[in-house]
Every structure is written in structure tokens, then in C-alpha cells.
Amino acid sequence: MATERATEISQAQIAVHWKEEEYVRPTTKFVGQANLVDPAVTERFSEDHFPECFREYADLLNWSQYWHTTLDTSNPPFWKWFVGGKLNACYNCVDRHLAKYGNKAALIFVPEPEDEPVYTITYQELFTRVNEVAAVLRDFCGLNTGDRVTIHMPMIPELPITMLACARLGIVHSVVFGGFSGEAAGLRAADSGSRVMIYADGYYRNGKIVDHKPSADIAVALAEKEGQNVEKVLVWRRHYGQCLSTKPMVPGRDYFMDEVLKDFKRAKVDPISMDAEAPLFLMYTSGTTGKPKGCQHRTGGYLAYVTGTSKYYQDIHPEDVYWCMADIGWITGHSYIVYGPLALAATSVLYEGAPNYPDAGRPWRIAEQLDVNIFHTSPTAIRSLRKTGPEEPKKYNYHFKHMTTVGEPIEPETWRWYYDVVGKREAVIVDTWWQTETGGFLCSTKPALDPMKPGSTGPPVLGIFPIIYDEEGKEVATGSGKAGNICIRNPWPGIMQTVWKDDDRFVKQYYAKYCKNRQSKDWRDWPYFAADGAVGPPDGYYRILGRVDDVINVAGHRLGTKEIESACLTVPEVAEAAVIPVVDEIRGRMPVVYVSLKPGVSDGTRVKEEIVSTIETMIGKIARPKAVNIVPDLPKTRSGKIMRRVLAAISNTMDTGDVTTLANPDVVELIRRQVQGEGPVVMKEGPEDVKRFGESE
């Protein structure tokens, strides 16, 4: 085991370290209006009050039947939350707001082309449209509660409308990020057993029309190959009555939604009262093997958790205009564009396009135009907006009260720009650490109660009790300055239920590593392994270093190195492939590909292009590598394992360590010169007060 680990490299090991920063306090103006100002909340959510503390979140929802048991731990780690309770997620996000907020904006859609008008969907209109779509799903597609539907759509309002229509009927939606390839969508459709897929014809991105419909044909073909028949493909048109795609519709399979909807005008579909434990959706994410896993989220616990955290940590009030500049195709969008904000009757802004289009002032113009007062985005977006338009925010008259960062560690320098320039020193910042699996936030400051600290995610959120373990399962003391594996000691309502159709993988991936006793029914014996490296400083403000497994977080989006390697190996000329993470100034991390070729291949440039295009078609443009290095051989141990750690050290200009025991030590220097040039060995160093990941005392 030890040798196997030593061949691999994780993000945490190439983490960029920085010094502890001073606290920054929220303004009194922010505190004066915040949802959460009572310090007693910490006591209410203390370990003594676990799990009943989470009633406070569940009570933010309307239940058609109240639950009798808050947490059932009889079958660890398959926790059950709010057992006996019944509710409908769509009802909670739409119907229940009609009496008071029917004419208030629920969604504001901002198209990428700036000359196309912004349009607003009120709660009343959302209700009407969701009902009509639900009628299509039920009566035209014949879908029932518990069926799965794969939705491969860009950021247009029809995406949340379709999700809510599924939720209304207890149909399990599986949204695949629009930027993923047709192959990726087809694989997920097959795994989830979807007989209906939902698409859009096209969308605007970076000033161009993206023809999205071809992905549907690829996805259906791939699903078919995997044994899943897709009977119907519903295609939303970005412009009514006009098609952005050049691809023909397949008769008897493909249907334009606007045409089907003509038969369902003003149809009403009663929301189905669902068990709290009924699955609400699947969200596929990259894991340690090539195959992405379907994280299955429950209805009651999930909705309670995202509603509670949206209220307390995003500080959302119904009168706020909230803009999360992320994609609904990721968990951030599910929890904090759709379900959390709509459950609180907020106005949620949806932006179709690229943050920098047509220039780096675009987000700030949108903020001014719509009077956005809560803004949420990733460090990658902040870095890129800062690089291309450092002075742009000053030109626009908007005022944020609250800003969020999510998805990757944010370095203090970027944090300062976000705070000083974007937030104009008026907005509080929360740095929220969490994962697809966790449903909602795990660490963040309470915006009105805790001071901020640039570069640290902050304390655990209410009702979450972390612990850091070393590889051997010994607790790493908080304040020791040592990094380890961050785990969560207790269950919480937002945690996924299982991996779709794969309970074993769920247990293995998240609980086996630190489970104290597999027979135990006590949750205290079942810590959740997050696969992130972290340091716990004396003040309890955690610093997340990044993944400890072979997952790379590119621009806050998760990719498995094994998935990218498998794609490379499908290129006929490639003999061996290794993918490693490299630090990138804008995107945080990016994959770098190393390959050796089969004998007799001469045209390296063509092979490189082929590798890049294969990765793009099999996964998506998001996985495009920062570099492809064709090398004579990959460094290997004597037992033949590829030393990814050595390759990552070279690409990140870090120490390669002792390589003399390798099977082919000479190749290391050859590769180093090829990648770094002929100069002397250069090495980066971090500050001395933080030990690097895995470093011993």
C-alpha cells in the first residue's frame, strides 16, 4: 500500500501554501440586516444537540407529513433523515410562494448576447411552466415516480424548469454539465437507466452559437451501446420556432419541446408527496476509477440542508437578488442556484454565457442592471476577471452585501481583490468548502458572526464536526500545523444517500478508510472521508489543500486523472499515458498529459493533436490538458508502476526526490530537460510554518 501511494501524486501534495492572514470583520451594515445574528446558534447546533439541531433546517420547509425520527442510524453508513416525513421539493420551491410572492421574480435570465433582452420569470409563471412540463413528462413520455431522466442542457431557464418538473413527480433527474461531451452524457444516461433524455438545440458561448443537438445523437448511440435504449429525446429550442442546430431531428425519437407543449397549455399536475428518503436527483462526479459515480441525493434531508445553509450562510432573504455565477450542471448550481434560493423565495439570476464576454466588465454590468446584492462564484472566475479587467468593477454602480467563493482554495491575493475591488469593502465574503457528495457547505464562516480570514475556508458549518486523520488513522492535532485527511465525524442531512446502484462503492470510497468498527451502529464509528488534505490551525479555521486522490480540480470542476488517461490510451499510437495535476495561475490546477508512443510513430505533432481532440470528445473541453508531453519512456518502479509523482514534480518544478531506485532512473533527467529546459534544477518553496502534505515532523 505504502509503495503504491508513493507512485501517485495528489493535488494536496502540490498545494500552494501561504502565511496566516489577519481577520477581517463584516461591516455593521451587513450585520444589521443578516439572517443569522444570534451567537446562541452555535450552542443550538452543538454536538450535545445533534441530530435534533437539524430540525431548525427542516422546519424551513412545508411537509405534507411531519417526520417522526430525525436520524435513523440503524444501517450505517446508510443514514436516514427525517424518517416518516413526506414533502415535495417542487412544491417547496414554487407552489408555497404563490400566495405571497406570485408576482415576484423567481428567475432572471441573462442571455449571453448583450443585445438580447433579459427576461424575468415570476413565481406564478414558473408554476405554470413547471406544471406544463410535468404534464409532458408524465403524459407524453409516460414517466413515473422513481424513473430517471438525463438532462444535458446549457444555462437556460428551461433547465431549472425541467428539473423542478421532475421533482414535482418524484422523477429522479440527472443533469449532465452542458459542456460535457455527448459521450459523457450517454455514459451517464446508461448508468442511470434513463429512457428519456432532454436537450437544448444550442446556446451562446463566447460570442458563438454552440450547436448542442449533435451531442444528443452521440449520447443516444453510446447509451444504446451500453445497453440502454433511449426512447425519446426532448429538445428545447433556445429561440422559439427557430432552430440553432443543423442536425436533423430523428422521427419518432426527437421532439421539439415547444411543439409538444402546445397540447399541454395550462395543464396542472399535482405535486406528489414524496418520502423524505426518496431520491431527488443524481449528480455524477469523477472518482478514483475511470467510471464516474452517480451521487444519489435524498429529497428531505438535501432540501432542508440547502435551504438552511442558503438562509444562514448565503444570507438570502426573499427580497434579495442573488446571482450565483456557476453552472446548474454542477452541484453548486443544484444547491445554490436552484433548490436553496428558490426554497427561500429569492430571485435567482441565471447567466448563459462566459464571464468575460464580451469583456471583463460584463458581470459588473449585469450586477448593476439587475441590482444584484449577493454574488457567488469560483476563484478561477475571480482570477480571470482580475487578470483581464482589474479596474472594471469600479466603473459600475452596484453594491454587493455578500459574496461567496467556492470550489478551490482562494489565495489571499485574489481574496483581497475580490474583497477590495469587487466587493468595494462593503461585502462580506464566505469561502465555502464542500463537495458534490455533501449536498451543501461543510466549512464556512457565519457571515455576520465570524470574522473572515483570507486563504482559509473557516470553521465547520453548524452541525458539522470535522477531524483530521493521518494515513494510519491517528488524529492530527488541530494547531499542530500538520496536514492530514479531513473527515467529518457525524452524518448530516445533505450527505448523499449512496452511489447509484453501487452501495459497496459508497462504503469503500467514503467510509471504509477510517471506520472503527464495521459492525457498529453508532455513527461515531463511521467518519466520512472527504479525500481532501487540510490543515487545522489553532483558531479552528481550516485550510483546504486539495484532493488526496487522483482527482484534479480544474477551475473548480472535478476530473479524474484515470478518465483522462483512458481517453489517451484510445489513441492508437499511444503506448502508455500518465496524467498529473499542475498548478495554473488562472484555473488553479490543470491536467498535464505524459505519453510514450508505440515504436515507429514519427509524427508527434499529429499525435498530440489527436490526444487533445480525443480528450475533448470523450470527456469535454473542460478536460483539455495544459500540455501534452511525448517522452521516450515514463518513469517506473521496478514492479512497473508509473511514477506519476515524479512527473508532477517535474511539471510543478518541485523536488523529484530520490529516483535512483527506479527501473529507468535516467529517463527522469531526460524528461526534466525536455519540460523545464536545459537550465539548472529549480524548486519552489512554501512558507516554513506550514508543513507540506504527507511530510513528517
Positions touching ligand WT7 (CB under 6 A) are 285, 330-332, 406-409, 431-436, 457, 532, 544, 546-547, 553, 556-558
CB-wise, 10 or 122, nearer to ligand WT7?
A: 10
Q: How many whole angstroms separate alpha carbon 253 and alpha carbon 197?
A: 10
To ligand WT7, the closest distance from the beta carbon of 286 in angstroms equals 8
CB-wise, 215 or 457, nearer to ligand WT7?
A: 457
CB-wise, 58 or 544, nearer to ligand WT7?
A: 544
To ligand WT7, the closest distance from the beta carbon of 31 in angstroms equals 23
Beta bridge pairs of residue 122: 105
CB 375 within 8 A of CB 400: yes
CB-wise, 183 or 532, nearer to ligand WT7?
A: 532
Distances (CA, A) of 561 to 358, 484, 578, 623: 33, 22, 8, 10
To ligand WT7, the closest distance from the beta carbon of 615 in angstroms equals 18
To ligand WT7, the closest distance from the beta carbon of 594 in angstroms equals 23
Task: Supply the angle between the helices 604-618 and 561-569 in degrees, to the nearest 10.
Answer: 130
CB-wise, 101 or 312, nearer to ligand WT7?
A: 312
CB-wise, 72 or 539, nearer to ligand WT7?
A: 539
To ligand WT7, the closest distance from the beta carbon of 455 in angstroms equals 10
Nearest by Cα to 329 from 152, 501, 560, 148: 152
According to DSSP, residue 642 is labeled B
Nearest by Cα to 694 from 20, 10, 16, 19: 10
CB-wise, 400 or 433, nearer to ligand WT7?
A: 433
Q: Which residues contact 21 (CB under 8 A, 6 or more apart)?
A: 412, 453, 454, 455, 456
CB-wise, 393 or 407, nearer to ligand WT7?
A: 407
Q: How many whole angstroms separate alpha carbon 493 and alpha carbon 64?
A: 19
CB 633 within 8 A of CB 667: yes
Cell numbers at residue 393, please?
Answer: 468593477
To ligand WT7, the closest distance from the beta carbon of 457 in angstroms equals 5
CB-wise, 13 or 70, nearer to ligand WT7?
A: 13
Query: Where would I find the beta strands (DSSP E) of 542-640?
Result: 543-547, 551-554, 557-560, 574-584, 588-597, 627-630
To ligand WT7, the closest distance from the beta carbon of 626 in angstroms equals 19
To ligand WT7, the closest distance from the beta carbon of 652 in angstroms equals 17
Three-state DSSP state, 247: coil
To ligand WT7, the closest distance from the beta carbon of 15 in angstroms equals 10
To ligand WT7, the closest distance from the beta carbon of 460 in angstroms equals 13
To ligand WT7, the closest distance from the beta carbon of 668 in angstroms equals 29
CB-wise, 170 or 533, nearer to ligand WT7?
A: 533
Nearest by Cα to 84 from 274, 272, 271: 274
CB 280 within 8 A of CB 89: yes
Give the DSSP per-residue string, 415-476. HHHIIIIISTTTSEEEEEB--GGGSS-SB---TTTS-B-TT--BSBPTT--EEEE-TTSPBP
CB 13 within 8 A of CB 652: no
Distances (CA, A) of 39 to 28, 365, 401: 15, 36, 20
To ligand WT7, the closest distance from the beta carbon of 81 in angstroms equals 20
To ligand WT7, the closest distance from the beta carbon of 581 in angstroms equals 11
CB-wise, 279 or 556, nearer to ligand WT7?
A: 556
Cell numbers at residue 232, please?
Answer: 425519446
CB 281 within 8 A of CB 173: yes
CB-wise, 462 or 571, nearer to ligand WT7?
A: 462
Residue for grid cell 479531513: 486
Task: Supply the angle between the helices 123-135 and 158-169 in degrees, to the nearest 10.
Answer: 60
To ligand WT7, the closest distance from the beta carbon of 190 in angstroms equals 22
Q: Side-chain half-sphere of 54: how many Cα atoms within 13 Å? A: 28
Q: How many whole angstroms separate alpha carbon 179 and alpha carbon 201?
A: 13
Distances (CA, A) of 103 to 62, 121, 439, 570, 614: 20, 9, 30, 54, 48
According to DSSP, residue 678 is labeled S
CB-wise, 85 or 463, nearer to ligand WT7?
A: 463
Three-state DSSP state, 128: helix
Q: How many whole angstroms separate alpha carbon 552 and alpha carbon 579?
A: 10
Q: How many whole angstroms separate alpha carbon 156 and alpha carbon 381?
A: 20
- Over its C-alpha atoms, the chain yields an Rg (Å, rounded) of 25
The type of residue at 670 is L
CB-wise, 165 or 544, nearer to ligand WT7?
A: 544
The type of residue at 104 is K
CB-wise, 163 or 535, nearer to ligand WT7?
A: 535
To ligand WT7, the closest distance from the beta carbon of 301 in angstroms equals 17
CB-wise, 377 or 432, nearer to ligand WT7?
A: 432
Three-state DSSP state, 230: coil
To ligand WT7, the closest distance from the beta carbon of 335 in angstroms equals 8
